[in-house]
Amino acid sequence: MKTLDAPVKPGGVIGIIGGGQLGRMLALAASRLGLKTCIYNDENHAPAFQVTPLQVAASYEDQNMLRGFAEICDVITFEFENIPSATIEFLSALKPVHPGAKALSQTQDRFIEKTFVASLGLATAPFFDVTSADQARAAFSKLNGGGILKTRRFGYDGKGQAKVTSADQAASAFDNFKNAPAILEGLIDFSFEASVIAARGADGSFAAYDPPENEHENHILRRSTVPGRLTRAQNEEAKAMARKIAEALDYIGVLAVELFVTKDGSLLVNEIAPRVHNSGHWTIEACQCSQFEQHIRAVAGWPLGDASRHADAVMENIIGAEADAWESLAKSGALHLYGKQEAKLGRKMGHVTRLKPKT
Amino acid sequence: MKTLDAPVKPGGVIGIIGGGQLGRMLALAASRLGLKTCIYNDENHAPAFQVTPLQVAASYEDQNMLRGFAEICDVITFEFENIPSATIEFLSALKPVHPGAKALSQTQDRFIEKTFVASLGLATAPFFDVTSADQARAAFSKLNGGGILKTRRFGYDGKGQAKVTSADQAASAFDNFKNAPAILEGLIDFSFEASVIAARGADGSFAAYDPPENEHENHILRRSTVPGRLTRAQNEEAKAMARKIAEALDYIGVLAVELFVTKDGSLLVNEIAPRVHNSGHWTIEACQCSQFEQHIRAVAGWPLGDASRHADAVMENIIGAEADAWESLAKSGALHLYGKQEAKLGRKMGHVTRLKPKT
């Protein structure tokens, strides 16, 4: 595994696997710093291809193309965690890859992830490994009420998830997932959801943004509000949790920790995303250094930037056909559109951030 | 002359003449809005070429290339005002160009510009047309003290300027400029310099940023500070001056008006820049909508964005070899580097903006 001997100099190239909106916003942030980006994406059209001349459209398993890509990059990162682990291994032998294989191995699989989180002494919902319909029934019986069956891998935005309220439902949900390895989690009667976006630098330095409160609709993030309902003590606790996780993973880059805030005020870890995160988009306007710039700084071996917040912010996603109202959205706040041509149902087309004076 | 029938839709292409740092930051701002940019530059290497795959490297007089460029653009703008007027005329017949020929014709020539400003009832330094060494002497005799001889066209960052303290010096400065048409301006004993960055939309709407105080070194902008020493009344007066100028020019886009603030508190117009301006770079971090996004919004026929300021800011340019200290600069604030390879003497390599809570 390669590591950086020295920070990537201005003019150097950051390789980004994945050309969606996160890759696009990472590339825009790198450009501000005088760094170039090369985007690797497995489809010909990608939002991030519009913002840099350096681009590779090829399969994530094409070793010739991966080798050529690594050749022109000084360091490699990614915008999504579901990259084939063979791809990461292959690239890691050629150039530094951050966050590295360890972070991915602990977060690509929900069962491994929750086991890892629990091993750090952090609270999660009760969870059980499910590899058969019988195991699904047995696990359900241990829950105190309903649960959610989730495939262990490759889920996002509610995909690969089913709410279950009986042992029979748990078993048939497992069958519906075509016997993919799964995890049964106990339903949490939470007060609200939150997340903490944090960064760890190559030198072990750490910076965390104020945790937003998050609202979801149809399993997709609708809105992030900062400050939300977290108390000052919960803010600090959330940041400390993110730090514990980042340090245990020898993490380099930005990561997000999704949290449930229970009615008695406890913070439970729901999920770790080893990347920049939708609930951190408000940092573009409200912080001197956005989550995207922060990630680029970390993976390039640069000093972390100032994560303090100088305004209150509400970020709302623009989903599917909502993007047709771009003109009135442009009037209403800081509009970001991702360059996607088709406004498919449930597709994140952009977001809008509205600032208010800091409270 | 073409005009836009409707706003450029997301996915549309903004053509930008000039591939320097201003073109680069305009392109980055357009990308946030889901607009594509095509950069036209007369050299093969240009900072803005690094941030978009759509680019043309050709002479500003190459009509074939200009025609192809216009073909793929929905609207065309520029990052610098010294474009050959034949180029603007040629492009204007093919696609909407903003700001248009009128704004350029009034601002490319210092004598025409100052005459225009005076015609609006706005104050300037005393100025005289100089087309011969004798005229330079005669003009000097009308000044109350020293003056500055400036070529009427193509000056920037102090180039084409000479301070003169006698009629003989005025005459020899004119000879040194190889008889280029010039203007002799009376020296202003100002208290400090300021500028106002403002935008006028296609619908006649107007938005102005809080005017920064500006400090120069060796004729190059060193630092912009907002708020500076302008009073609230001077802020409003400066914005009203910019509005008067923008309306008289039927202006569409962002323009900057450089000001002298005299010891008795008057505001004198020094220069108009029909484009985004170095003294407005702090708006990237301190305002919801930066000057770059504002310009893109205006030329694309979009609603103007919110120009209000939510933090105090100091912007400092990074000039020449100062960029070698990029790592410590990255620690100290929001660093912007422009992707220039050679750190030539006096070349603007980047800037750094530092925010403080709003006062």
- State pLDDT tens for residues B43-99: 999 999 999 999 999 999 999 999 999 999 999 999 998 888 899 999 999 999 999
Flag whether pLDDT at A157 surpasses 70.
no
Residues A109-129: tens digit of each pLDDT: 999 999 999 999 999 999 999
Q: Average pLDDT, whole number, for chain A?
A: 95
Mean pLDDT, rounded, for B106-126 = 96
Across A215-224, B144-153, B286-295, B306-315, least confident range = B144-153
Q: Does A359 touch chain B (CB under 8 A)?
A: no
Q: Does A201 touch chain B (CB under 8 A)?
A: no
Q: Does A51 touch chain B (CB under 8 A)?
A: yes
Supply the pLDDT for residue B159.
Answer: 76
Nearest alpha-carbon partner for A23 in A340, A346, A358, A343: A340
Flag whether pLDDT at A190 surpasses 90.
yes
Residues A13-54: tens digit of each pLDDT: 999 999 999 999 999 999 999 999 999 999 999 999 999 999
Q: Does B24 touch chain A (CB under 8 A)?
A: yes
Supply the pLDDT for residue B137.
Answer: 95
Tokens of A231: 């108390």
Residue count of chain B, please give it.
Answer: 359
Across A149-158, A246-255, B174-183, B314-323, least confident range = A149-158
Question: What CATH superfamily classification does A190-356 receive?
Answer: ATP-grasp fold, B domain (3.30.470.20)
Mean pLDDT, rounded, for B268-293 = 97
CB A252 within 8 A of CB A200: yes
Cβ-count burial of A268 within 10 angstroms (0-12 exposed, 13-18 middle, 19+ buried)? middle
Residues A57-67: tens digit of each pLDDT: 999 999 999 99
Q: Say if the Cβ atoms of B323 and A10 lie within 8 Å.
A: yes
- In DSSP notation, B242-309 reads HHHHHHHTT--EEEEEEEEEETTS-EEEEEEESS--GGGTTHHHHBSS-HHHHHHHHHTTPPP----B
Supply the pLDDT for residue B164.
Answer: 95
Domain A126-186, architecture per CATH: 2-Layer Sandwich (3.30)
ω into B227 cis (within 30 of 0): yes
Distance from CA of B358 to the nearest CA of A (A): 9
Tokens of B157: 């960052």
Tokens of A278: 């939708």
Q: Rounded CA gap, B235 and B195, in Å?
A: 10
Q: ipTM value of the model?
A: 0.94
CB A96 within 8 A of CB A2: yes
Domain A13-97, architecture per CATH: 3-Layer(aba) Sandwich (3.40)
Q: Say if the Cβ atoms of B306 and A55 lie within 8 Å.
A: no
Residues B25-51: tens digit of each pLDDT: 999 999 999 999 999 999 999 999 999
Q: Does A355 touch chain B (CB under 8 A)?
A: yes
Supply the pLDDT for residue B157.
Answer: 66
Flag whether pLDDT at A351 surpasses 90.
yes
Angle at A196 between CA A249 and CA B331, to 5 degrees: 75
From the list A9, A51, A357, which residue is nearest B310 (CB)?
A: A357
CB B276 within 8 A of CB B79: yes
Mean pLDDT, rounded, for A327-355 = 95
Angle at A226 between CA A223 and CA A229, to 5 degrees: 95
Where along chain A do its domains lie? 13-97, 126-186, 190-356
Question: Using CB atoms and an 8 Å cut-off, which of residues 54-113 of chain B contact chain A?
Answer: 55
Q: Say if the Cβ atoms of B31 and A323 lie within 8 Å.
A: no
Mean pLDDT, rounded, for B121-142 = 95
Q: Rounded CA gap, B285 and B321, in Å?
A: 25
Supply the pLDDT for residue A250.
Answer: 95
CA atoms within 13 A on the CB side of A187: 14
Distance from CA of B190 to the nearest CA of A (A): 33
**A285 chain-B contacts, CB cut-off 8 A:** 288
Q: Compute φ and ψ for B37, nearest 5 degrees.
A: -130, 145
Nearest alpha-carbon partner for A206 in A150, A255, A133: A255
Distance from CA of A310 to the nearest CA of B (A): 7
Q: Rounded CA gap, B223 and B317, in Å?
A: 6
ω into A84 cis (within 30 of 0): no
Share of chain B above pLDDT 70, in %: 99
Q: Average pLDDT, whole number, for chain B?
A: 95
From the list A330, A336, A355, which residue is nearest B302 (CB)?
A: A330
Instruction: Say how far residue A171 (Cα) sits from the centre of its chain.
Output: 30
Flag whether pLDDT at A207 surpasses 80.
yes
CB A153 within 8 A of CB A110: yes
What pTM value is reported for the model? Answer: 0.96
Supply the pLDDT for residue A30.
Answer: 98
Cβ-count burial of A342 within 10 angstroms (0-12 exposed, 13-18 middle, 19+ buried)? exposed
Q: Rounded CA gap, B118 and B124, in Å?
A: 7
From the list B31, B32, B327, which residue is nearest A303 (CB)?
A: B327
